[in-house]
Structure 1
């Protein structure tokens, strides 16, 4: 093989990820409280990050961001999605003992709220506090602290003000319906482990921004338009349903992937999810991502999640006829004190860049409707041992007696 032939067959080198930028972005995102419904500040921060990179964007009425990286062709366009919103809580009750009853924002267990430091956002100020079980002190309750139930009815917030009655709380400006954000408590270790609340999904947001920066800095030209989307209501189910437009044919969600017994995810690799509780992701888009990971030597795992949904599900349920897929960073203890590793974020960033630079799954997808020509194929008859000579051509019908016609009279 000649040198020129070897050069043609060589896999292109992906643009380099600025990991220092990724890490700085992650820490700054984590420092901004953003439980669902209280996301304006994190939207403004993300918009500023896009401005600094030089990527144009639009913002929906409520704050979802749709950015644009132009490609050689406008259609079929693709979206790459990460969500800015996090879990949180809200004031449910002003209690007579001077403490606050709360309800969760999003789906998470009260056992991970216990002991958490937090901020209560009133109409006029921010107050600090701690979430505690109803019976906290062993010196007062003895063994009862170990036998009390663990649920949201059995925790309360102690606000850091002199407060012994409901009036003390209302005088401080606290009302039912005030938002509560728990401290993320981030910790980055020298060996690459990252611990924090809300890595779901701020780690993926940082990855997506770093991937966008790598493409812009490298001057790489995309094959088709790519739209980085940053959504604000994923944790309550609606997510990307409001930020898409008709040109988008493919959508890949970037989110947390679950490392746990019975799962195939690893904290030091990217995960390509084949199915979640909403059903299988698109066969062709998923396998494209698997092939990209293999081609570029990106550490990855395949997995299936039984108790998980993402922005992709919200998009399809909203009536969008698009191919969807899910890739994520491997992490332990989702919706609790989460942990991932630098290697996983790097792998996910590399896979995101590879996908954004790749060709579309099917050129036919530039139109929402079309003929059979150019339609994708999963299982080819000849590969299954089926004789193709016995099959009718497109436009012909197999009658009940085994003959072929163009009328289709034998079909109901």
Structure 2
């Protein structure tokens, strides 16, 4: 018995993708950067994002802790798809009130203390916000000489100098400081006339701005997606749990928008979108990933393919939480991830275009409207007639193997 094969749906190019409002994307990015949102301190950025969705007229729901699930209605409700960016950023937390009146800290998320050194920051106590600077333990060449260049790098090697009179642990306690207070570093954004954008926390606030810009483009165009689309905004990606709380059973596909790594040995470029084929959690879905590649080619969207060795995203969190969904990862090319990051206007535009093209496209497979089913309609990567076989036939061992005495040089 033969069954019809469901291949990735061929999406014919639209006459043109909806117009993008890049000024809106840049404005949104700067406003997001103005809101401190290290993991665990995200209520403000959740409220901001919800207001942006309301201004577009998009309905949404918020989980207990603050992950947002919006909805753009499609012609069919299933198989629904999600497209996700994370609102949370890296940060730090008070680890110790030190006898010298300074504050020991630990990171929130995974980043190097070398990028914290010299950073201006805000400490959020129970009752007030205090300003300060993160410094190495040995800061003055006039006091320590060459030791300032030879001291180790690590979170145990930095401390926060609070901008208040604080020469002892008691002084810090009097200011209301406690172990466990949140710390947000200043983003220090700078946008150049030629399109370069420098800032902390472009991961993932640039992708959040892109996703909101993509939603606005679709709403403004009046076009209806083929199936329901759920823009998701998560709040714990930097510590690994990500989108797992905001997914529902009808979602069959999920594309994560995140930073893409431009570095030696990588194929990513700061002026393009990146389609990631694999990260440290393993390969992304073959069909969904190739669908995104096809869409980029159809619409002449500048893109690169890449593989990331030390990287995980909301997609990994979704699958590890037990969701049976197709996942993929696309991103904006950027330099110095988890440090002073830099991207380019062109990468944000390309990522927005690819996001819009995906949101308006057909699903990978109509069979995906059901979580379980028969072989009928199941996808196929390589057809039997396309499978290559070795060109050299191995000989039959019986034809050359001496079964008698002396085999293998025996007696």
Is the structural similarity TM-score above 0.5?
yes
Partner of 1:245: helix, strand, or coil? coil
**Aligned residue in 2 for 1:48:** 51
Partner of 2:292: helix, strand, or coil? helix
Number of equivalenced pairs: 379
Q: In the TM superposition, what are the counterparts of 1:4-403 in structure 2 within 5 Å?
A: 11-384=14-387
TM-score (norm 1): 0.91
Post-superposition offset of 1:11: 4.1
Post-superposition offset of 1:383: 1.7
Partner of 1:36: helix, strand, or coil? coil
Partner of 2:226: helix, strand, or coil? strand
CA contact (8 A) 1:11 1:295 kept: no
| Mapped partners of 1:141, 1:284: distance in 2 | 59
Partner of 2:164: helix, strand, or coil? coil
Write out per-residue CA displacement over residues 244-296 of structure 1, whole angstroms, 9 at most, x where no aligned residue: 00000000000000000000000000000000000000000000000000000
CA contact (8 A) 2:13 2:298 kept: no
| Mapped partners of 1:182, 1:369: distance in 2 | 46
Post-superposition offset of 1:382: 1.1
Post-superposition offset of 1:12: 2.3
CA contact (8 A) 1:88 1:182 kept: yes
CA contact (8 A) 1:256 1:329 kept: yes
Residues 95, 379 of structure 1: CA spacing in aligned structure 2 closer, same or farther, 3 A cutoff?
Answer: same
| Mapped partners of 2:259, 2:176: distance in 1 | 36
| Mapped partners of 1:157, 1:10: distance in 2 | 54
CA contact (8 A) 2:13 2:299 kept: no
**Aligned residue in 1 for 2:394:** none
CA contact (8 A) 1:15 1:214 kept: yes
| Mapped partners of 1:251, 1:235: distance in 2 | 18
Kindly indicate whether structure 1 or structure 2 has the higher relative contact order, using CA contacts under 8 Å at least 6 residues apart.
Answer: 2
Post-superposition offset of 1:384: 2.3
**Aligned residue in 2 for 1:395:** none
Residues 385, 37 of structure 1: CA spacing in aligned structure 2 closer, same or farther, 3 A cutoff?
Answer: closer
CA contact (8 A) 1:131 1:156 kept: yes
Point out where structure 2 has 5 or more consecutive residues left out of the alignment.
1-10, 390-411
| Mapped partners of 2:34, 2:206: distance in 1 | 12
Write out per-residue CA displacement over residues 108-142 of structure 1, whole angstroms, 9 at most, x where no aligned residue: 00000000000000000000000000000000000
- RMSD across aligned positions (CA): 1.0
Point out where structure 1 has 5 or more consecutive residues left out of the alignment.
1-7, 387-412
CA contact (8 A) 2:197 2:342 kept: yes
Post-superposition offset of 1:385: 5.5
Post-superposition offset of 1:167: 0.6
Partner of 2:275: helix, strand, or coil? strand
Post-superposition offset of 1:9: 7.5
Partner of 1:335: helix, strand, or coil? coil
Post-superposition offset of 1:10: 6.4
